[in-house]
Amino acid sequence: MRCIRFFSVSLLLAFSPWLARAADVPYVPTPWEVVDAMLKLGTVGPNDYLIDLGSGDGRIVIAAAKKLGARGFGVDLDDNLVRTARRNAESEGVKDRAEFFTRNLFDTDMRKASVITMYLFNSVNLRLRPSLFQLKPGTRLVSHDFDMAKWTPDAKLTVDVPGKSYGPPSSEIFMWVVPANASGQWRWQLSVAGAKFDYDATFEQTFQMIAGAAQSGGRSVLLREARVRGESVSFTLMSERDGRTTRQEYSGRIVGDTLEGQAVIDGVPTPWRATRTRAGRMIIDI
């Protein structure tokens, strides 16, 4: 019995390199000029906690720590790369602020992140996408060269890379801000020209885009330019009363089922608070 167990353990150890999970993406380092541009597009600063998914030699986390005072960690399946990244962090004097772990990116707890960086494939980004929507609203996601299909980025940049090892001599950088769920029905009251009016708006949200309809006093009001960026929501209402069009620009911060900020009515700002009376589902699976 002991002999059989010994043989099974030996076999397992002998084949462990083949049993280890294969990398979903090969190792290709992000060129330095692209690293800098990614950190800039992600507005990384000293208060940020950055996680690089598939961290290679650690350059993104190390640059964020050394140049911008951020903290963070990287994960990679390749133990040799993780050791290299640790050595690089030590020689750059940031080993306390830039850590590295041998770990599958799909098993990584990302809740601490305010910024996530990726240089993976589209297919990997898409597998990750549902878990990225579980992160704190406002978390920035910055990806080198690969997008997220129908989830359009909030910002995009092209960087010239004359000596790039594959493809055209340039890199694309995409940035998304994880949106809060603003979908559902919202109600509020507002004073316009001395009179009080009730409003309600129904938001249907797909990723960070909102489509919807609004009403006031039983009449439809045109809803335009609605969008969510992290916890911030903004939209415009164009309402017509007595042959006169009023432009109302709303902006506020969503906290649970309240939306609080200001409404600018024909150029005049006034405080604004709306309450969600019916929850909706944010669509993130197209």
Ligand X SMILES: C[S@@+](CC[C@H](N)C(=O)[O-])C[C@H]1O[C@@H](n2cnc3c(N)ncnc32)[C@H](O)[C@@H]1O
Q: Which residues bind ligand X (CB under 6 A)?
A: 23-25, 27-30, 52, 54-56, 59-60, 75-78, 81, 104-106, 119, 144
As measured in angstroms, the least distance from the Cβ of 58 to ligand X is 8
Residue among 60 and 190 whose Cβ is closer to ligand X: 60
Residue whose token pair is 């990997």? 124
Residue among 59 and 276 whose Cβ is closer to ligand X: 59
As measured in angstroms, the least distance from the Cβ of 102 to ligand X is 9
Q: How far apart, in whole angstroms, are the C-alpha atoms of residue 228 and residue 231?
A: 7
**Pick from 135, 166, 132, 137: nearest CA to 148:** 132
Residue with the shortest CB distance to ligand X: 54
Q: How far apart, in whole angstroms, are the C-alpha atoms of residue 239 and residue 215?
A: 9
Give the 3-state secondary structure of residue 255: strand
Write phi, then psi, for 47 (nearest 5 degrees): -90, 5
As measured in angstroms, the least distance from the Cβ of 29 to ligand X is 4
As measured in angstroms, the least distance from the Cβ of 15 to ligand X is 20
DSSP-derived letter for residue 107 is G
Residue among 15 and 106 whose Cβ is closer to ligand X: 106
Q: How far apart, in whole angstroms, are the C-alpha atoms of residue 217 and residue 80?
A: 66
Residue among 147 and 204 whose Cβ is closer to ligand X: 147
Residue among 145 and 231 whose Cβ is closer to ligand X: 145
As measured in angstroms, the least distance from the Cβ of 28 to ligand X is 4
Q: How far apart, in whole angstroms, are the C-alpha atoms of residue 206 and residue 283?
A: 5
